[in-house]
Chain A
């Protein structure tokens, strides 16, 4: 009998019961009341605990991002596309050498310096989509404050420059991809970069701060081919500066950004 513990990784690394997790009662762990028969290496039945990934739920209701991202889009994007990646990842993990890795480790390892292994696409997509839902919030957008704004102004000149660069990068992608605000560890500054397909700054060792999905399925139902309206609405109404602040705080544990200003005390 295989007990299946369902882990729900989220950005904080703490487990969160997801919509799909099943509660396992402690009775399930009770072994038979017979004494162990020590002549056999295992008791009557062998128990093997395995853990797989589950579909993390966005931290808001599925219609909470309307009218900038419709409920229909979120339902399909999350419930079908993201979910399919989770299921395919778990299928790979049944036989993969990377079983047991954290998602971040797996993304970096399976990218294999540019010759991606079979698990890369799904593991990176799962990570990126988890990151994406948490990069947004209802009543998001407008302007960041305090330390985050200071860092953006330091690295981009003005907030408007950052928005322009982000938009330009998003629209420059040939084919499916993502656009990122990320922290360059070595240069200790924020930067914007577009990536192709399922690639994220994790593969080159930097710290993602905002991720925007530029695959057609992310915007086509709501915006058809009008990608700039999608990106503008994301920046003006959806991006979660709160998430950005939390991510920058965490990043400061790894990168010395000078005077700790995030958040402003």
Chain B
């Protein structure tokens, strides 16, 4: 959608600002790279369907609405409205970003899900955490300890050139914890991600999810950033 605006500000001198065409690129729900029941029995088809079609879709829809409102507010020069919309943009945009990564972080067992990382990422994990199992334990502990809703991440710090386990609250994307952090792996610990199946036993969900983690994707992202 291209919008042309020109704003004339009258004062002693007449200033005409021609707003160039700004197109509003809306977000769309990415398709899942596997069927809804492909991650069973670790994550049920029912959860995957709700998670993708309802929750992620809602973030996309609400992000787009917030974006439209933001666009209008920016054009009108309504600074209060622009600032007021930031939390909606952060929450819904963050939800969209995080879930888009999450679907790629998962993989059916019969397509290689759960196979531990090899090559460079494997070595980096050993260097930074001691062992693969130590990383798993740490991520599980951080995920279990998280109060409320949020995400637990395996991050690569581009500047320090090392891996890090981080958590973010609600739908805050990883970058809110550090501009140089790149997400390799994110685990959704919002209750909607596991409740229907695991109820309150979040730790069980965390222990099981490693069976369907797509380390190949994480490895690709890592190798690209570690250049």
A interface with B by C-beta (< 8 Å): 76, 80-81, 84, 121, 174-176, 196-198, 215-217, 220-221, 224-225
A225 x B50 contact (CB < 8 A) = yes
B50 x A175 contact (CB < 8 A) = no
B196 x A174 contact (CB < 8 A) = no
Categorize the interface residue count of chain B: 10 to 19
Rank and list the top 8 A-B pairs by shortest CB-CB distance, nearest first. A216-B191, A175-B170, A80-B200, A174-B91, A225-B54, A220-B195, A197-B148, A176-B148
A75 to chain B, nearest CB (A): 10
Partner of B196, one of A84, A176, A220: A220
A216 x B192 contact (CB < 8 A) = yes
CA distance A217 to B54 in the complex (A): 17
CA distance A32 to B55 in the complex (A): 65
Partner of B54, one of A80, A81, A224: A224
CA distance A121 to B146 in the complex (A): 11
B195 x A121 contact (CB < 8 A) = no
CA distance A74 to B58 in the complex (A): 27
B105 at the interface (CB under 8 A from A): no
Contact with A along B45-82 (1 / 0, CB 8 A): 00000100011001000000000000000000000000
CA distance A242 to B44 in the complex (A): 41
Given contacts A174-B87, A174-B170, A174-B171, contact A216 B54 (CB under 8 A): no
Chain B residues closer than 8 Å to A225, beta-carbon distance: 50, 54-55, 58, 192
B12 at the interface (CB under 8 A from A): no
A220 x B191 contact (CB < 8 A) = yes
B169 x A175 contact (CB < 8 A) = yes
A224 x B50 contact (CB < 8 A) = yes
B149 at the interface (CB under 8 A from A): yes
- Give 13 A-B contacts (CB < 8 Å), ordered by A residue: A81-B200, A84-B200, A175-B149, A176-B148, A215-B191, A216-B149, A217-B200, A220-B195, A221-B196, A221-B199, A224-B50, A224-B54, A225-B192
B23 at the interface (CB under 8 A from A): no
Q: List B124-166 residues whose CB lies under 8 Å from chain A.
A: 147-149
CA distance A219 to B192 in the complex (A): 10
Chain A residues closer than 8 Å to B58, beta-carbon distance: 225
Q: Write the chain A residue with the least CB distance to B55.
A: A225
A148 to chain B, nearest CB (A): 32
B102 at the interface (CB under 8 A from A): no
CA distance A76 to B198 in the complex (A): 11
Q: Write the chain B residue with the least CB distance to A80.
A: B200
